[in-house]
Structure 1
Amino acid sequence: MDKNKPKTMEEFGTWFKRTTLAYVALIFVLVLSYGYLVKGGSWGSFSDLIIAVFTVLIAYTTNLLLIAAWLTGNSWVEQSKHHSAKELLQTLSEFYFTIHEVHTMEFKLQSIKSLHKVTVDNFCNLSDAGKRYFEGTPDDASKEQIEDFLNYMKPIYDEEIQKYYQKISMVKDRLNELKFAVMVKSTPFSVELKKENIEMINEINGLLSMKENFHTPTSSLFEKLRSVTNYDSFELIYISDPIKEELFDDGK
């Protein structure tokens, strides 16, 4: 669009000169005609002359606006599509990040729920990730002390689990909103998408069904849309898959 701007301004300048000269000539002719042809050769009232001149000026201004709109029409269309492409890709990026957030929270929930599996007998088999949930426990704690500590922690686990259920539900609602936002914002490019055989609903549902390797399919769709929309101002940020914490060293 920037390359076309100087050309558009040059064309507008040319039309401006032509239109201005034409209207100057018209006003000149109008003034002369008003004196020689109206009311038997008399000038008439001064107000009539002012009204006539301003009528011509209004027509002149209107024509300049029409010329400007005609010359910049394609530029406005391109600018609008550029903005639509930016919004589409930004929304797809947010959709991708939110999918990652949901799975990260689901893995975290699984870890917290699995804390109920911890007993006095397998406490010593906790992995490094598992031990982080029990920081402050003395290394030489007796079985009775560990059992008392686990009994104390169980209600806390249950409360945390309920909080995560609520958080996940809220994020999933947001994810559903983003799903439809991506679909809506891809509408201005429906013709181009059809030519490239890109079914957005299938692409989006495919991303939602992914359990791992989220970046690869999302990046593929992102690049397809960049090509379709001719938008290359930013790339999709890479995020590695969420890490599933193993509670015990043996993975049991």
Structure 2
Amino acid sequence: MPTTVREFRSGDAPLTMVTAYDAPTAAACETAGVDAVLVGDSMGNAALGYDSTIPVTVAEVASRTAAVARATDETLVIADMPFLSFGVSEAESIENAGRMMKEANAHAVKLESGPHTVELTERLAAVGIPVMAHLGLTPQKVNQLGYARQGTSEEAASEIADLATAHADAGAFALVLEHVPANLAAQVTEAIDIPTIGIGAGPDCDGQVLVVNDVLGLSDRLPPFAEAFGDVKSEMDSALSAYVEAVETGAFPAEKHSHVEADLDDLY
């Protein structure tokens, strides 16, 4: 598994990345051999009970990134920069991104990218903050774009392709392509010299990323480009129901779960 962004390159097998937001899940990702954990602002929907990623704060991302970093030794840890934590002013953007590395021990940050982040990517890379760019569907723009597939017209596809090149030239070490046509993603992957990580972008990217809730089968609804590789929700429902029944019927705690101290028999 890559321990630096320089090692985050596609080899014989495609790269794997999973979003995760806590220590136990991150540890499981590392055990499974996942190359990178993205502490995504998707935590807003997946873990924090928000309706979108918009309310997620820098403090929330930093706290959960630190938890993921504490639970992993070899996995690359990437902190997602939440809405308005970058792009307002260069100084504030650098400070917020630097916090993810200095306080939360992230190896890199991810920016939902556009024309406004090319210079910022170059500046962050120059001061030692590795940047993963993100093009296509960018959920922080949900109020403008919704969740529709991006890059479907020639003009829109050309813009994504140009921005991909611009961010690679600016020093980004990798690029997420989300919910774009597979043939567009294939052309971008061929054109730039940094790894592309697809999510709903077809099989020709250098790697793939999914939200951990989708992978585990915890989501109520899957995006059209995701797949559940387990049914953890059913297991949770079963275990919790069994616990409630055991407590209510007196089966738990049993004798083996308790300790009796003889000298305390005559306390009252």
- Higher RCO (C-alpha 8 Å, min separation 6): 1
Question: Which TM-score applies when normalising by structure 1?
Answer: 0.24
Question: Which of the pair is proportionally richer in strand?
Answer: 2
Question: Which TM-score applies when normalising by structure 2?
Answer: 0.23
Question: Which of the pair is proportionally richer in helix?
Answer: 1
Larger radius of gyration: 1
